[in-house]
Homo-oligomer: A and B are copies of this chain.
Amino acid sequence: MSDGSRRGAELDPSTGPHERLRSLGLELPPVATPKGVYVPARRTGGQVWTSGQLPLVGGELPATGLVGAEVDPDDAAAYARIATLNALAAIDALVGLDAVASVVKVVGFVASAPGFGGQPGVVNGASELLGAVFGSAGEHARSAIGVAALPLNAPVEVEVVVDLT
């Protein structure tokens, strides 16, 4: 209720996250199989915490390497969006996206060339997707961090925590 009214400030309250993804031309991908003894997302109390998500598309990374060197920052923002779509798929598979009341936290790790300080612009690819899907309920706390290397030499990794209705 209160959640619907918050979203109503920006988004058509008669639509849900699935419709908004469709109107963005996006589709939730299948959840990627984790490469270890862990799960794509876990429920704890009234929250879901996702694993760090890579920008895998059909099991493949569209690019590898350091942002600010091999990977263009604008492209990296698009990869952060893909990683976030994978996080939404993990949440949807666990509890259904309609059960998301709000987004609490996003951490965006950006594999960064020495001296690259544009992590906020890259991680905006994640934040803007969450805003488009959840409206003001998608406003989250966020950390953007530049790291030396990521699994499979991915350029970005995104983890998400959401509150459930």
Chain B proximity of A41: nearest CB distance (Å):
6
A157-B151 Cα distance, complex, nearest whole Å: 16
* A119:B42 contact, CB within 8 angstroms: no
Per-residue B-contact encoding for A96-132, CB less than 8 Å = 1, 0 else = 0000001011110101111111111101100110110
Whether A6 sits at the interface, judged by CB under 8 Å, is no
Structural contact, A141 and B106, CB atoms closer than 8 A: no
Complex alpha-carbon distance, A123 and B41, angstroms? 17
Complex CA gap A64/B117 in Å reads: 10
Residue numbers in B under 8 Å from A151 (CB-CB): 117-120, 144, 146
Q: What class of interface size applies to chain A in its complex with B?
A: 35 or more
- With contacts A51-B142, A115-B153 taken as known, whether A104 is within 8 angstroms of B42 at the C-beta atoms is yes
Task: Write out the residue numbers on chain B whose beta carbons fall within 8 Å of the beta carbon of A45.
Answer: 45-47, 163
Report if A139-B36 is in contact (Cβ < 8 Å); known contacts: A117-B152, A147-B146: no
Q: Which residue of chain B is the closest to A153 with respect to CB atoms? A: B117
Write out the residue numbers on chain B whose beta carbons fall within 8 Å of the beta carbon of A109.
143, 145
Task: Give min CB distance, A6 to chain B, whole Å.
Answer: 13
Instruction: Report the Cα distance A57→B120, complex, angstroms.
Output: 18
Closest Cβ of chain B to A100, distance in Å, is 13
Binary contact track A37-49/B, C-beta < 8 Å → 1, others 0: 1111110111101
Q: How far is the CB of A111 from chain B (nearest CB, A)?
A: 8
Chain A residues proximal to chain B, CB less than 8 Å: 34-42, 44-47, 49-52, 64, 102, 104-107, 109, 111-121, 123-124, 127-128, 130-131, 138-154, 157, 159, 161, 163
